[in-house]
Structures are given as structure tokens and as C-alpha cells.
């Protein structure tokens, strides 16, 4: 899938030169000074926001930055399922930190729907691209991720697109905010178009897609997010960071089959014992694929502390019912050997969330 829209803005924050404006009804006017003494074209006006600089675009929207605000301008509204910007806004209004706050929504000059968020300069993807991550940073960022997922899952919400670019960072040391709710499923807001047992399967991004979605289980639940989080954690623990599974770009033929084979080759082919839920699927994965032995976690994550390896192994499991939940993971004592960190991780579960 294309890089998330709002997050794409954050991912491009390092770029010093502005992109051309994309809004046809607004054009740059005068030049404005940069902090380094140079000048750049003034950005467009979007609703009440001036000097909006184009940063990125995706399937449904264009993203701009205006000072401390990121603006997601919806430009495509037809045939975009599972994307739904109006449902996204409704879900975001119900959430609290550590999920990204929705500042407001409005219609721009061309009556396009716009979502406004705080501009956050970094993401976990940025840190991955820079090289190896320190253990303290991994602990901090994944604490925030699991706290956010626990908060969502307690309300029956499934994020459905957990990936490094969706975890925004206010600095390299955090705190982290979970973003990109464009394809999220809500137990009441989504039920008319996606019944609980008839959910859309085109969810997730590349190497973070869960096996149940790949094999057509439309009744999937929050464990799809936990699989993705486990794959992310494994990637971050590697030196240098490297995805646990190989996945071709979404537009390439055979990308889904390639991901399935990569999963099988990496952790071994599933059987009825390791994936009992798959026995009722229309296309069970037991006889139709070559059987692979897979690798031990100690070989997949060499030099990684047992605590991290055990946590990854508890998440990257075929059986969704055996996968650790966000609330089970959050107080894990073996996530970090440092007693202070462990107490902090446990405290995250009992603290009050800050209102948006």
C-alpha cells in the first residue's frame, strides 16, 4: 500500500525544499523567508490555514503542512474502500493519546473534506532508515504503541494498518503517537458496510499483513494488529533493521503469494496444531503449499536479548487466539531487565489518558 497520507507528511519532514502546490484553486503568491536566509514560494491557502506547503499524496488525499499543523485534503471519494475519511474522523474524535489527536475537520474552498492534525516531525520509519535503534528507544516507542493498541482494542476498534510509518515520534526519543486510522474498523461505525464476520480483506501493508487476512478470514479481530506489531518489533531489533518477511510492492503480480511463502519459509509452514482456526477457512493452508521447516527465533534474531525474542515470538503466531494481546503485553516483566523501566511499563496501563 502507498505510504500513509498524514504520515507521509511526517516522513518527508527532513526535506528542505518545498514541493509544488497541488491545489488547483489556490496558487502561491509572494515569497517568504526561510530561517536560513533564503526564500521560498508562499504556500496555498486551505480553509483558515495559510502558507500551506504540499508534502505528499496518496490514494485518497494530498497532505500539506501549515506551521504546526498537518492537513489531509481528501481528493478521492469513490471506490476507496476500506479507506473512509469520514469514518476516520468520527473514530479519531473518540480517541485520546497516545493516538494522534484530530484538531478539526472542515471543507476547503473547493468543498473538499479536510482533516487537521498536529504536525509531528518524525516516525519510527525515519529511525529505521537511519540504522540500528537503541534498546531504550525501542522500549519507549513500543510501550506507547502497545498502550495505544490496548486502548483501541478495549473499545473493539481494529487499526488494520500497523506499520513503522504509522507510529509518529515527537523526537527520536518520543513520545510516540499512533496515526493513520483511514482503514480502521469500529464495532458500531463500520458495522453497516462491514459486518463483524464480513470484514474487508484488503488491509495492512506489505510485510506487516497477518496470515488470517491473507487466507480470507473475514472474521478477524484485534490480533491482526498484534501480528503487525510483532513483525515491527522484530525488524527494529535486528542490526541493521530489516523486515522479518519479504513483500513485493502491492502493484506487482504475486505480491500476496510471495508474502505467504516468505512467512512459511521464515517461521515454518502452519499445521492444524499451530493454526487451528484455519481448519474452517475456505482455502486452508495445510495441503496446497509446500511444507517448510522455518527457522528458530534465536537464528532469526541473532544477538537479540531473550526478552525481546520471547515477546516477538508471542506475537508472531499463526493462531490468533494464542497471540498475546496488547493488555497482556503491556505489563510483561520480561520486556526489559531494567526494574525502573518495568515499573514504568506497568504504570502505563493504569495512568489516565490525556484528553484531546
Q: What is residue 26's predicted lDDT score, i.e. its pLDDT?
A: 46
Q: What is residue 342's predicted lDDT score, i.e. its pLDDT?
A: 40
Residues 6+ apart with CB under 8 A from 285: 211, 215, 260, 269, 270, 275, 278
Q: What is residue 60's predicted lDDT score, i.e. its pLDDT?
A: 86
Q: Which of 11-20, 152-161, 262-271 has the lowest mean pLDDT?
A: 11-20
- 3-state SS class at 323: coil
CA distance 266 to 300: 8
Alpha helices by DSSP H, listed for the chain, are 5-11, 85-94, 124-130, 135-154, 211-214, 223-237, 255-267, 297-300, 306-315, 326-329, 339-350
Distance set, CA 134 to CA 71, 139, 172, 252 (Å): 32, 9, 11, 34
Q: With beta carbons less than 8 A apart as the criterion, state whether 18 and 53 touch.
A: yes
Q: What is residue 97's predicted lDDT score, i.e. its pLDDT?
A: 86
Q: What is residue 17's predicted lDDT score, i.e. its pLDDT?
A: 35
Q: What is residue 19's predicted lDDT score, i.e. its pLDDT?
A: 40
| Mean local confidence (pLDDT), 230-254 | 89
Q: With beta carbons less than 8 A apart as the criterion, state whether 54 and 40 touch.
A: no
- 3-state SS class at 50: strand
Give yes or no for residue 248 having a pLDDT over 70. Answer: yes
Q: What is residue 319's predicted lDDT score, i.e. its pLDDT?
A: 97
Q: How many CB atoms lie within 10 A of CB 55?
A: 24
CA distance 109 to 349: 43
- pLDDT: which is higher, 58 or 115: 115
Q: With beta carbons less than 8 A apart as the criterion, state whether 105 and 113 touch.
A: yes
Q: Which of 93-97, 100-104, 112-116 has the lowest mean pLDDT?
A: 93-97
In the chain the first and final C-alpha atoms are separated, in Å, by: 29
- Helix count (H) and strand count (E) of the chain? 11, 11
* pLDDT digit string, tens, across residues 15-74: 333 343 455 444 445 555 555 555 667 799 999 999 999 988 877 889 999 999 999 999
Please, what are the domains in the chain? 5-118 (3.30.200.20), 122-350 (1.10.510.10)
Distance set, CA 324 to CA 18, 150, 211, 313 (Å): 43, 11, 15, 9
pTM to 2 decimal places: 0.83
* pLDDT digit string, tens, across residues 189-225: 999 999 999 999 999 999 999 999 999 999 999 999 9
Q: Which of 129-138, 177-186, 335-344 has the lowest mean pLDDT?
A: 335-344
Q: What is residue 80's predicted lDDT score, i.e. its pLDDT?
A: 80
CA distance 263 to 148: 26
Give yes or no for residue 258 having a pLDDT over 70. Answer: yes
Amino acid at each position: 500500500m502507498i505510504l500513509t497520507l498524514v504520515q507521509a507528511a511526517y516522513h518527508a519532514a527532513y526535506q528542505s525544499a518545498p514541493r509544488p502546490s497541488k491545489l488547483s484553486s489556490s496558487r502561491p503568491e509572494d515569497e517568504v523567508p526561510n530561517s536560513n536566509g533564503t526564500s521560498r514560494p508562499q504556500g496555498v491557502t486551505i480553509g483558515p490555514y495559510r502558507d500551506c506547503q504540499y508534502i505528499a499524496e496518496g490514494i485518497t488525499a494530498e497532505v500539506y503542512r501549515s506551521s504546526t499543523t498537518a492537513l489531509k485534503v481528501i481528493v478521492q471519494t469513490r471506490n476507496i474502500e476500506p479507506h473512509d475519511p469520514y469514518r476516520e474522523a468520527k473514530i479519531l474524535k473518540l480517541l485520546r493519546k497516545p493516538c494522534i489527536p484530530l484538531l478539526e475537520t472542515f471543507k476547503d474552498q473547493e468543498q473538499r473534506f479536510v482533516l487537521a492534525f498536529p504536525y509531528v516531525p518524525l516516525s519510527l520509519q525515519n529511525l529505521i532508515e537511519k540504522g540500528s535503534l537503541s534498546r531504550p528507544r525501542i522500549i519507549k516507542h513500543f510501550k506507547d504503541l502497545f498502550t495505544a493498541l490496548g486502548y483501541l482494542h478495549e473499545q473493539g476498534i481494529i487499526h488494520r494498518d500497523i506499520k513503522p510509518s504509522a507510529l509518529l515520534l515527537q523526537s527520536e526519543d518520543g513520545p510516540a503517537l499512533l496515526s493513520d486510522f483511514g482503514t480502521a474498523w469500529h464495532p458500531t461505525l463500520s458495522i453497516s458496510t462491514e459486518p463483524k464476520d464480513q470484514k474487508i480483506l484488503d488491509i495492512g501493508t506489505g510485510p506487516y499483513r497477518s496470515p488470517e487476512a491473507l487466507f480470507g478470514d473475514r472474521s478477524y479481530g484485534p490480533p491482526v494488529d498484534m501480528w503487525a506489531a510483532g513483525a515491527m518489533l522484530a525488524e527494529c531489533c535486528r542490526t541493521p533493521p530489516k523486515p522479518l518477511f519479504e513483500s513485493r510492492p502491492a502493484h506487482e503480480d504475486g505480491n500476496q503469494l510471495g508474502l505467504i511463502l516468505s512467512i512459511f519459509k521464515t517461521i515454518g509452514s502452519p499445521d492444524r496444531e499451530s493454526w487451528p482456526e484455519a481448519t474452517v477457512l475456505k482455502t486452508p493452508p495445510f495441503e496446497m503449499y509446500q511444507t517448510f521447516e522455518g527457522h528458530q527465533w534465536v537464528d532469526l534474531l541473532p544477538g537479540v536479548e531473550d526478552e525481546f525474542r520471547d515477546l516477538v515470538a508471542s506475537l508472531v503466531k499463526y493462531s490468533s487466539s494464542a497471540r498475546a494481546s496488547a493488555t497482556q503485553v503491556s505489563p510483561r516483566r520480561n520486556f526489559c531487565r531494567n526494574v525502573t523501566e518495568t515499573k514504568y511499563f506497568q504504570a502505563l496501563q493504569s495512568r489516565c489518558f490525556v484528553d484531546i
